Amino acid sequence: MPEIFGIPTAALFGQLLIGLINGSFYALLSLGLAVIFGLPNIINFTHGAQYMLGAFCAYFLLQKWGLGYWWALLIAPIAVAISGVVIERTMLKPLYKLDHLYGLLLTFGLALIIQGLFRNEFGSSGQPYPIPPELTGSRNLGFMFLPIYRAWVIVASIAVCFATWFVIEKTRLGGYLRAATENPELVQAFGINVPRMITLTYGFGVGLAGLAGVMAGPIYQVSPQMGSDLIIVVFAVVVIGGMGSIMGSIVTGFGLGVIEGLTKVFYPEASNTVIFIIMAIVLLIKPAGLFGTQK
Amino acid sequence: MKHQKIAFLAMAALVVVMPLFVYPVFLMKVMCFALFACAFNLLVGFGGLLSFGHAMFLGTAGYAAAHSAKVWGFPPEFAILFGTACAFVLGIVTGLLAIRRQGIYFAMITLALAQMMFFFYLQTPFTGGEDGIQAVPRGRLFGFIDLANIWAMYATVAVIFLGGFLLIYRVVHSPFGQVLKAIRENEPRALSLGYDTTRYKLLAYVLSGTLAGLAGATKSLVFQLASLTDVHWTMSGEVVLMTLLGGMGTIFGPVVGALIIITMQNYLAQLGAWVTVVQGAIFVLCVLTFRRGIVGELANLLKKPL
């Protein structure tokens, strides 16, 4: 069996693949957080719960109406986004002028409510979600077997990430958005409806979390807790990357996923903590984050 | 100031009288959590720094006290001191990291650091993993007071709680506390007046963590148990909730908050995950309707700080 550094290549590439998969979710979720960060004084603690909502939405669509994965991929993010818009309109809006800590406490409370309700209904065990028939099976690449669904997740999340990056950095709409976070009064004076824009931004960021949830269903199972631990890691990813740049959160997300995967191969004891350790090191060297600018 | 002294005397009297009517173990639990919440409030209410990882102090001190009492045979006073000292060291190390970012980032960093500690305690063998450290001996305080006697234990916890509370009261009303409040209100201005704000914030963070550790170490002796629950992020969320409900930045708020939340958990325990839902709902309700918390609203009504 071929080896690299005394590790069988199959194990190495296997963990690298898992790392890329985890990285896809880190990237999608931290991207959503970065988009929402444009909102005044809001960090979205509910993000993990909304990721879980996306997965459950897909699960319900399949169980209740027999609508499969591809429909879920379309409907679930929109449903989660709509629920996000309702939350923003009714609860987050009054908080913009207050200290940042209230936005954090409110979204944390919402996360507890959502997760608690689902735990009441489904307990702690996960519900299986089947891989869509078009994407089952795997391909032999010579050095490893690549399950097609996992390849799809990586490709799809890269595509979504770059599409988001393109919209925000390269289009007129994205330009408005960036201007509105920089100086809302001025942009408002130009006749752009900034409050509506903020609402839609929150909806979009949350929708990304819902999309990630649908894609995660067939890999991790659908369970009420799937988001709560993940979101803490994603926060660390956000601190490492710095929230300033969209591209930064994409690169950091994938990069850290891969590093975590490699740690599982070379020093498994640290695989749970490696991202937090990297965060500590980054804070010592470059407190603003790798791609961030200190305000 | 006078009414605060009266309120304190009333609270001390309640601590003495209540065990005649209420199960003392429950009251000891409330006092441990009240001290924990007061320590947390020192940081968030007066320093304006929202830590989302305070469970790491509670849990670390709990494990250190339990391990030193059970395996090394420390007497209870040294076990508590050792646990508190461990929280102090952890406070310095994590504080130096977390203080480098402000606002929202500070909350995320403390949460992440606490999660790192959680995984550390999950994997390291001395904590007993999911079982925790069980059957921790309470021992004899100063060599002659047997803490297996529930009233001796109760008196010890009461002294620690009231002592810790008075210390926090003293700190809040000291010049240091005033500078801390100034930093909370307007950091650039405090900086321009020549205060080294980073040092003040670090000091507040370490002090808060150490006192949270004192609560954790005491708690592990009371329940003779140190477990993963105390380092999990839900515990960090609970202390935030207690402080928010009682009133951030008030002296007595966290005590009231701790009393309510612990009572609620006791009554709703059989309802399982509904506790989480209710706690989340309290968060949302507090933020949307009464941000000052119960004691804060009361103080506002009486026009006197409590």
For B251-282, the DSSP string reads SSHHHHHHHHHHHHHHHHGGGTTHHHHHHHHH
* Residue tagged 């350790």 (tokens): A277
**Do the chains contact at A119 and B244, CB–CB below 8 Å?**
no
- Cβ pair A269, B123 in contact under 8 A: yes
Chain B neighbors of A106, CB-CB under 8 A = 283-284, 287-288
Q: Which residues of chain B are within 8 Å of residue A269 when distances are taken between CB atoms?
A: 123
Say which of B52, B116, B286 has its CB closest to residue A276: B116
Residues of A in contact with B97 (CB under 8 A): 280, 283-284
CA atoms within 13 A on the CB side of A203: 15
Which CA distances in Å does A66 have to A55, A126, A213? Answer: 15, 19, 18
Residue of A nearest to B232 (CA): A229
The label of the residue with tokens 């001290």 reads: B35
Q: How far is the C-alpha of B132 from the C-alpha of B219, rounded, in Å?
A: 14
Per DSSP bridges, beta strands A3-4 and A7-8 are antiparallel
Strand, helix or coil for residue A4:
strand
Give the lowest-confidence range in A238-242, B57-61, B200-204: A238-242
DSSP state of B133: B
Q: Does residue B306 contact residue B251 with C-beta atoms inside 8 Å?
A: yes
Average pLDDT score over residue span A274-281:
88
Measured CA to CA, the distance from residue B197 to residue A99 in angstroms comes to 19
* CA-based max dimension of chain A: 67
Write out the two tokens for B72.
Answer: 């090394």
pLDDT band at B108 (very low <50, low <70, confident <90, very high): confident
Query: Quick check: B136 pLDDT over 70?
Result: yes
B115 touches chain A (CB under 8 A): yes
CA distances from A175 to A29, A158, A189, B31, B112 (A): 22, 22, 16, 54, 33
CB of B284 less than 8 A from some CB of A: yes
pLDDT at residue B169, rounded to an integer: 93
Distance CA B84, CA B64 (A): 8
* Tokens standing for residue A62: 């399949």
Q: What is the DSSP letter of A39?
A: S
Report the candidate in B86, B56, B74, B30 with the shortest Cα–Cα distance to residue B222.
Answer: B30
Residue A4 Cα, gap to closest chain B Cα (Å):
28
Higher per-residue confidence, A196 vs A144: A196
- Rounded-to-integer distance, Cα A290 and Cα A240, Å: 6
A266 pLDDT tier (thresholds 50, 70, 90):
confident
Judge: A116–B280 Cβ closer than 8 Å, yes or no: yes
CA gap B124, B118 in Å, rounded? 10
Query: Are A209 and A56 a contacting pair, CB within 8 Å?
Result: no
Question: Quick check: B36 pLDDT over 80?
Answer: yes
Phi and psi based region of residue B224 (left: phi greater than 0; alpha: psi -120 to 50; beta: remaining): left
- Give pTM, 2 decimals: 0.90
pLDDT mean across residues, chain B:
90
Residue B107 contacts A, CB cutoff 8 Å:
yes
- pLDDT-derived band at B126 (thresholds 50, 70, 90) equals confident
Query: Whole-angstrom Cα distance, residue B230 to residue B87?
Result: 13
pLDDT at B220 over 90: yes
Pick A20 or A123 by higher pLDDT.
A20
Asked if B138 contacts B148 with a C-beta cutoff of 8 angstroms, the reply is yes
pLDDT at A5 over 90: no
Between chain A and chain B, the number of residue pairs with CB atoms below 8 A apart is 120
pLDDT at residue A147 in the model:
86
AA identity, residue B277: V
> Is B245 an interface residue toward A (CB < 8 Å)?
no
CA angle, residues A13, A18, A20, in degrees to nearest 5: 90
Task: Look at residue A97 in the predicted model and tell me its pLDDT.
Answer: 81
- Confidence grade of residue A289 (pLDDT, cut at 50, 70, 90): confident
> Residue B194: which region, alpha, beta or left (left: phi > 0; alpha: psi -120 to 50)?
left
Helix A246-266 with A9-36: angle, nearest 10 deg: 150
Q: Do A116 and B277 meet the contact criterion of CB atoms below 8 Å apart?
A: yes
Q: Does B289 touch chain A (CB under 8 A)?
A: no
Residues of A within an 8 Å Cβ radius of B? 43, 91, 94-95, 98-102, 104-106, 108-117, 119-120, 228-229, 232-233, 235-236, 238-239, 269, 272-273, 276-277, 279-280, 283-284, 287
Count Cβ atoms below 10 Å from residue A136 Cβ, excluding itself: 12
Quote the pLDDT of residue A81: 93
**Interface with chain A: mutation pick from B277, B285, B286, B289, highest number of A CBs within 10 Å:** B277
Q: Taking a C-beta distance cutoff of 8 angstroms, is the pair B121, B228 a contact?
A: yes
The secondary structure element, H or E, covering residue B189 is helix B187-192
Check residue B13 and give its pLDDT: 87
Nearest beta carbon to residue A239 from set B112, B276, B283: B112
The pLDDT, as a whole number, for residue B19 is 86
Residue A286 backbone zone (phi > 0: left; psi -120 to 50: alpha; other: beta): beta
DSSP-based three-state secondary structure for B158 = helix
* Average pLDDT score over chain A: 86
Picking from A115, A269, A273, the nearest residue to B276 by CB comes out as: A115
**Segment B222-235 mean pLDDT:** 91
User: Which residue in A215, A116, A105, A187 sits closest to B272, CA to CA?
Assistant: A116
Tell which residue, A243, A277, A271, A239, has the closest CA to residue A257.
A271
Answer yes or no: is pLDDT of A294 > 60: no
Nearest partner of A26 among A213, A210, A234, A221, judged by Cα:
A234
- Amino acid A3: pLDDT: 67
How many angstroms separate the CA atoms of A272 and B95, rounded? 22
**B135: pLDDT strictly greater than 90:** no
> Residue A40 has what pLDDT?
67
Q: Do B283 and A105 touch (CB under 8 A)?
A: yes
Of all residues in chain B, what percent carry a pLDDT higher than 70? 100
Closest CA to A30 of A246, A178, A228: A246
**Residue A212 predicted with pLDDT over 90:** yes
What number of CA atoms fall less than 13 Å from residue A177's CA on the CB side? 26
Decide if A283 and B100 are in contact by the 8 Å CB cutoff. Answer: yes
pLDDT in tens, B248-260: 989 999 999 999 9
Give the best-scoring range by mean pLDDT among A238-242, B7-11, B203-207: B203-207
Question: Helices (H) and strands (E) in chain B — how many of each?
Answer: 14, 2
